[in-house]
């Protein structure tokens, strides 16, 4: 019965044993150890309470695991819980992977164990310092950078300004290209007109004698 109850607890995170109490799985978040610079993975522990009742799907689950009728599974769980109660009055009971049950002054006390998670190992955690990082934040109708200076008020440095010499060079190049195009156009217009002004040499025929 104990293996089936353990399976149900780890699968559903809650199991109830009549006459003993309820056991629930609780997850602990990941922890950062600044001294060792390690990030430890999440862990799981078991919480115990004397209250609670049997979940609705616990008996059907046990019946499937034991391959018996639900009524038989219910009777077996009741018998096992009675046996566990008698055992606790004599000595402690260690539930492997869950914790230790102890009978103390007419009531049960529980000392949980940490449930190990295979495959999760501590990771090294180093502090990362990012220099000259700019983040833009919207404040009202104005965008402000991380340093608190409005984006519209930030002046461009020398590295971001385009030198005036570059602009002057481009302007001079455009003027030269325009002058060359104008000169070629004028030359092409004058050549055919000059040809039309030339008078052809016409030979004057001499007198004809009959």
pLDDT averaged over the chain? 75
Going by C-alpha positions, the residue among 29, 25, 30 that lies closest to residue 9 is 25
The predicted model gives 81-87 an average pLDDT of 90
Residue 141's alpha-carbon distances to 128, 137, 145, 184, 207, in angstroms, are 33, 11, 13, 56, 103
The Cα–Cα gap between 151 and 190 comes to 59
pLDDT for 134: 66
Q: Backbone phi, then psi, for 23, in 5-degree steps?
A: -125, 130
Write the DSSP assignment of 140-177 as a string of letters: TTEEEETTS-BGGGPPP-TTTSPPHHHHHHHHHHHHHH
d(CA 23, CA 25): 7
Task: Name which of 77-91, 95-109, 128-142, 163-177 the model is least confident about.
Answer: 128-142
Q: Which of 24, 27, 28, 26 is nearest to 9 (CA)?
A: 24
What pLDDT shows up at residue 128? 65
* Whether pLDDT at 196 is above 50: no
Q: Flag whether pLDDT at 88 surpasses 60.
A: yes
**Would you say 114 and 99 are in contact if contact means Cβ atoms under 8 Å apart?**
no
Contacts with 123 (C-beta within 8 Å, 6 or more apart), sequence order: 38, 39, 41
In this prediction, residue 167 carries a pLDDT of: 73
Boundaries of every domain in the chain:
2-123, 164-193
């Amino acid at each position: 019965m104990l293996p089936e109850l353990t399976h149900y607890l780890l699968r559903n995170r809650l199991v109830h044993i009549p006459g003993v109490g309820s056991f629930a799985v609780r997850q602990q978040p990941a922890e950062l150890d600044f001294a060792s610079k390690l990030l430890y993975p999440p862990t799981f522990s078991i919480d115990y309470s004397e209250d609670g009742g049997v979940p609705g799907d616990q008996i059907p689950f046990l019946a499937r695991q034991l391959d018996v009728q639900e009524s038989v599974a219910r009777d077996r769980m009741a018998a096992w819980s009675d046996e566990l109660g008698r055992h606790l009055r004599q000595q402690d009971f260690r539930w492997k992977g869950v914790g230790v049950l102890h009978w103390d002054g007419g009531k049960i006390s529980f000392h949980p164990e940490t449930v190990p998670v295979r495959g999760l190992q501590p990771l090294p955690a180093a502090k990362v310092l990012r220099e000259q990082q700019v983040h833009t934040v919207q404040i009202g109708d104005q965008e402000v950078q991380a340093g608190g200076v409005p984006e519209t008020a930030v002046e461009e440095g020398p590295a971001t300004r385009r030198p005036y010499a570059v602009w002057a060079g481009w302007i001079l190049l455009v003027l030269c290209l325009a002058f060359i195009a104008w000169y070629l156009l004028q030359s092409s217009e004058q050549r055919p007109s000059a040809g039309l002004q030339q008078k052809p040499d016409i030979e004057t025929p001499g007198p004809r004698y009959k």
